Structure 1
C-alpha cells in the first residue's frame, strides 16, 4: 500500500506550535508503541521520506494534532476519509462487516460493492453525510439520475430506491419528492403559460434558465428537504 498523504510543513509547524523538540516527539511515539529514531522524524519533516499509516497516526497523537491537518487536504476518497478518522483497514473492515481483502480492494479500485447495511455502517464509522457518502462510494450520479426521473415522472415509484440509497425513512423521502415534483411542475406551468400567451423569447429563456439552475441543484435541494443539508434558495 502506498504512503498516505502527508505534509512535512504541517508536521513541523504542529511540533513547533506545542514547543516539542524532535527527541520529545519520538519519545511520545515510543510510549504509543512505535519506536523510531529521531533521524526518521527529521526525514519526515524535510520531505525526504513519508510516514506509513501507523507512523502517521502515532505522529498525530504525539503532536496532539488531527490526522487531516498532517495530511493537509480535505478528504475525498474512501481511503482519505478512513485515514482522517484514524482507522487502519484492518480495524475498519471488521467493523463494517467485510473481509479485509475485499475492503482494501474497494479502496484501491475506487469501487464500493458493500451491502446496504455495510454502507450505512461505513457512513457512521467515518462520519459521512449522505451527499459525501454517495460521492465517496461512487453513487452520486445515481442520486442525480433517480431524482431527475422522479420529478419529471411519477415520483412515488422512486421513494423506496431513494430511501434505500440514503438510508432514510420512506415517509421523509416521499414528502421531499412530492415537494420537488410540485416545484418542477410549477416551472412547466409557467413556461407553458407564457408560451400560450405568446410571450417574447426573453421571458421564455429566463424561465428555462431558472429551471436549469434548479435542476443543477436538485440533489442539494433534496438532501436539504430530507434533513441533511442547509437550506438553499429556490
Structure 2
C-alpha cells in the first residue's frame, strides 16, 4: 500500500535522495534499489536537481511531488491519496494527474479523498459521498449521471441575438429559457423527446454549441444533503 497524506511528512533536514532511500527501505526495497528508484522518480517529475537538497529549500509543490514519489516508490497495489493536489500549480497538477493515471494503468487501485468535486468527476470511475459521517451516495460515475438527469439544454447561438425567437419558446416541452453565460439554459418538461427537441432547436435557432445539461457532482451532492444544510442554517 502507498499513502500520500494531506499534511506533508518530508523530513526537514534530510536530503531528498536520502529521504526516498529511507522510505523505500521501510517499504521493503534494498538500499541500492531504493536509491536507484528515488533518483529515477526525481528525474521523471523534473526534480533531479533537488536530490541533494533538504526539505526547507523546496517549495510546497516540490515537497508534494517528493511525497508522492515516497508513496509509489515500492510499486504498491493500492494507492491512497488525501487532497493530493494541495500546493500545486496548474502545470504540476497536470503532471501529478498523469502520474496517477499511469499508476492506475499498470493495475494499481487508486483511492483518493477530496472536497474538490470537479477533480473527482474528472478522474474517478466510482464515487462515494459522505455527509456528517454517513454515506449518502455510492455508485459508478455513469450510474450517478444516469440517476440524476435534469431536463435542460444549454444553447449558445451561432449569431448574437437580442431576444429568444418566438418559435423556440413555442416548441413542445419548453418550460423556460434563461440567459446563462454566453448562451441560454432551456428547461424542459418531463418526458420531453430530447432528440426531437435538439433537432428542432438546431433548426429554429442555429447554435454554436448545443448540449444536454448534466448535473455536476457538486449539484448532486447539494441535491442530496440540501435539506440537512438548510436545517443546520436554521438551527
Give the TM-score of the pair, scaled to structure 2: 0.30
Larger strand proportion of the pair: 2
1 or 2 for the larger relative contact order (CA 8 Å, sep ≥6)?
2
Larger helix proportion of the pair: 1
Give the TM-score of the pair, scaled to structure 1: 0.30
